[in-house]
Structure 1
Amino acid sequence: MWYQNYPEASDGFTGIMTIPRELKILNGKLVQIPVTEISSIKGKQVSAINGNYTLRNKAGEVNVLADGCQDVELYIVSDNVKVTISYDAANGKVTLDRGGTDGIRRTDWRPSGQLKWRVFVDASSIELFCGEGEVTFSSRFFPNGTVVISQGGAAKLKVREIVRAMPEPSQN
């Protein structure tokens, strides 16, 4: 990644710093969850949305609840990029697709009961935590303009806008 032309290179760094995580053993498997302190981040809470929601400062947390037997899609869109996070219930696959030649991340996962996702969005990354942390994805995301969150399927969304502590990376 050091030789990639990422927008934050002009700010003096290249790479991705993930949300601090707590590692646990759950039912004999290693899981990752965001540290509890992440819940103390201040921001506007939207209890539920239907349709689209615009993150004004490109940073937020999206909580998704859905029937684990149904397909689910979450779209995170800006002027220059679209990320789709999806669950294929028939095949038990979760996918994060940010487009491009290397933009698809996919793995097997079946929720136990309800599908629960916790998604963190900011001006350079998207992080997805599935269920109790048994599947996680971290991916690059460099939005221009506003960021719009929308859903496909019958999922219930809760969105919390996060107040930015640092300036976003400059855009090339």
Structure 2
Amino acid sequence: AMLKTCIHYGPLAMVQPDNYESRANLMWTGSLALNGLLGTGKRTDWATHGIEHEISALYDVTHGLGLAILTPYWMHYVLDEQTAPRLAEYARNIWGVDESDDIIAARTGIMKTARFFKSMNLAGSLKEIGVETERLAEMAEKATSRGPLGTFRKLEYQDVLNILQAAYDGTSLPLL
């Protein structure tokens, strides 16, 4: 419901910055996202956040923008036969994807996610926000310095580096 709220009110707030209802709903959604209630009783995965923290530690990038760039690449990277049902569920519930094949549904949801962020005039690559390719390995090392990230799929150093490299130039998401 929170993602649907952002998808509905985000574009409205962009074209009508003074629209109180849009901004209030986005702020309320942001508050709920940060207070931990969503994860109560559920297995959550914060891998993208751990990776993004290393970006914003080195560059003047907001956490949300970093997540908007990384998330589609993370989703694409972790997509396999085991994760496809959950990513397909996301695609169907959030984006209304009507596809019975889980892999195709998941890929469609990933592309819709990336396109939504682009429609909000957000950068689509780490290169666009000034991240230097020479720092990617350092960020991957720091992100995994306490062990693998994530619960959806465990991400080791090389996995994180692969995601950062894919997100660097923004061209590695497959077209449907």
Question: Would the TM-score normalized by the shorter structure come out above 0.5?
Answer: no
The structure where strand makes up a greater share of residues is 1
The structure where helix makes up a greater share of residues is 2
Which fold has the larger relative contact order, with Cα–Cα distance below 8 Å and residues 6 or more apart in sequence? 1
Question: Structure 1 length as normaliser, TM-score?
Answer: 0.27
